[in-house]
Copies of this chain bind each other. A is one copy, B any other.
């Protein structure tokens, strides 16, 4: 391992004769310390020049078809392709063929369990969206059926959910007053649902599903938590029996509204019913959490509460004491609402806007649920195909008097724990809802609103994910800011503001990442030829006269100036330190380019300017291990020739080896 063997006779001189320095280094690069047996072999590989069309094709494939959805179609006869195509659109045709009695058992039990949970929730969620209770039930009838045929998640439970209901309620109420003009409001809700479906299906069809990834996990945790608090606060109206309640959703207005009405607006009978059943529901939840086998306790508790409280109000006629009741739920299944959708006029753009926002949020929730359970049971889920399924289900829903449906966190978890096997459990649930709509709705007449409020509160409590927030705090402080931003935005302002904050912070993080990439000084780990960040490995030693800088990102227009300035600053800092300790000055600057996956024209400019600046300082620029794309562009731009091809090495160790003979002559 004779690293300092003087192969070349070139003597390093401190004057400006750069040209003489460039000689005879290529031969050095092969006096490779680790590879004594294979000299002259490994240069930096230059990949074969690619066809432009091929390159574009590869990029498009990686961007839009990263999951290779057409793989099963490859090398199949046409008739088989057709069948596969149909199966792709309707996965039920695929899994249905291997359906058996064991699976059926699981699905029946799971379906009945989620049905018992969804019926009271649906009635409450419809209220959050400022719609009559039957619309919640409608939304649990048609969309799950459609999804069962087209969706590929086996565990998701479809129907109205709290956050989307609140979001739609808030956004719709901004446009139309639901009290004064209930019909227009309802029509706008269907319009928004229609466009939510269109948005979802379009994103899926054009394989733009990755767009929802731009809402970061942290932002979603914060947003969900904030929405849960907001929803719970809204329920104080029902729980305390307050009649005059603010329309705003921020915590300040709501609490003000609650305390102002404390003296005359609260109804003690309502409070007794509401609080006692809330305690019962939370206790059931606690039991379910303690013992996973008792998951069915919190799942059926809401239905039991509804039955008991309805019966109680019916015999005591507490509604005459001011306890507000549901009063009336329309009997019968979904009427058509095709003609109610605004396909033109003033409300079209408004419905479109609300639909896009609600559709995206609904997607985020459904895809997150789908992915979670797919990972737990280890099956593949095509996000884009899911979006098409969810979109279609909402489009059909909007025409059958449903508002925006999506996957529910709480019901999906119950579905999973109850042992669902396929999407058939959604069909079971849908059938139960159908029976409810046909025969049982009149029985809900005396159900107190306070119970619905208690059910909603106990449902949304689960959306506040303290553990996730703590983990986010531990892992990434910036993520935590995004999380808290979204949370406080929703709680103290409005749902939209919170969402906007979440998206903005997520984007700011991406931009910050690409604007200010990390750089590191590398040192040699003693006894190896491995060079690593000296901050991470304090044992690593720097090579005298050589500064090794690693750039940890692609060099693009957004960071090229920063990277250049930062490298020069490392050099200045180091030179000052060396000067102070009377050590020899730096003669070689090695830029380790392994993490530089790409470079654009601005990046090449930055390297050129760096090279010029270094020439003036009499420091030689050397590049180590540029990747295929980078080396290609270094040659295309002629920069490889400018600095000399013999200044580009396969590894940092090779690059250092090339410097050492020259240093040896001087030190």
Contact = CB atoms under 8 A, between A and B. Distances in A.
Interface of A: 32, 34-35, 37-38, 41-42, 45-47, 52, 55-56, 62-63, 66-68, 210, 213-218, 371, 375-376, 378, 383, 468, 471-472, 474-479, 506, 509-518, 520, 525-530, 532-533, 535-538, 552-554, 556-562, 565-566, 569, 594-595, 597-602, 604-605, 609, 612-613, 616, 625, 627-629, 631, 633, 636-637, 650-651
Given A537-B45, A601-B472, A513 B515 contact: no
Given A67-B565, A627-B536, A214 B517 contact: no
A63 B513 contact: no
Contact of A475 (B218, B476, B601, B613): B601
Contact of A214 (B471, B538, B558): B558
B651 A530 contact: yes
B515 A558 contact: no
A373 B610 CA distance: 14
B216 A604 contact: no
A315 to B, nearest CB: 51
A654 to B, nearest CB: 9
Contacts of A512: 63
A481 to B, nearest CB: 10
Given A516-B66, A535-B47, A557-B216, A597 B552 contact: yes
21 contacts: A32-B528, A34-B34, A41-B525, A42-B528, A42-B537, A62-B516, A63-B512, A213-B562, A216-B556, A216-B600, A218-B600, A375-B609, A471-B601, A471-B637, A476-B633, A510-B556, A518-B598, A520-B627, A530-B650, A530-B651, A595-B597
A661 B70 CA distance: 39
Given A37-B527, A213-B515, A217-B557, 19 more contacts: A35-B528, A45-B532, A45-B537, A68-B569, A210-B561, A213-B557, A217-B605, A218-B601, A371-B561, A375-B613, A471-B601, A475-B633, A475-B637, A510-B556, A514-B514, A532-B625, A533-B627, A536-B627, A595-B597
Given A556-B509, A628-B533, A601 B515 contact: no
Given A55-B477, A526-B38, A627-B536, A595 B595 contact: yes
Contacts of A604: 475
Contacts of A560: 213
A46 B536 CA distance: 6
Nearest to A38: B527
Contacts of A552: 595, 597, 627
A527 B41 contact: yes
A613 B378 contact: yes
Contact of A553 (B63, B515, B597): B597
A617 to B, nearest CB: 9
A509, A512, A530 — most chain B CB neighbours (10 Å): A530
A579 to B, nearest CB: 15
A41 B468 CA distance: 36
Nearest to A468: B601
Given A42-B530, A52-B477, A479-B600, A378 B651 contact: no
A215, A556, A557, A633 — most chain B CB neighbours (10 Å): A557
Given A66-B516, A562-B210, A631 B35 contact: no
A628 B535 contact: yes
A513 B565 contact: no
Given A42-B525, A528-B38, A633-B475, A566 B600 contact: no
Contacts of A527: 35, 37-38, 41
A602 B67 contact: no
Given A66-B516, A510-B514, A527-B37, A213 B558 contact: yes
A17 to B, nearest CB: 18
Contact of A559 (B213, B516, B613): B213
A48 to B, nearest CB: 9
Contact of A561 (B213, B627, B631): B213
Contacts of A38: 526-528
A520 B45 CA distance: 14
Nearest to A47: B536
A376 B629 CA distance: 28
A329 to B, nearest CB: 41
A517 B526 CA distance: 33
A562 to B, nearest CB: 6
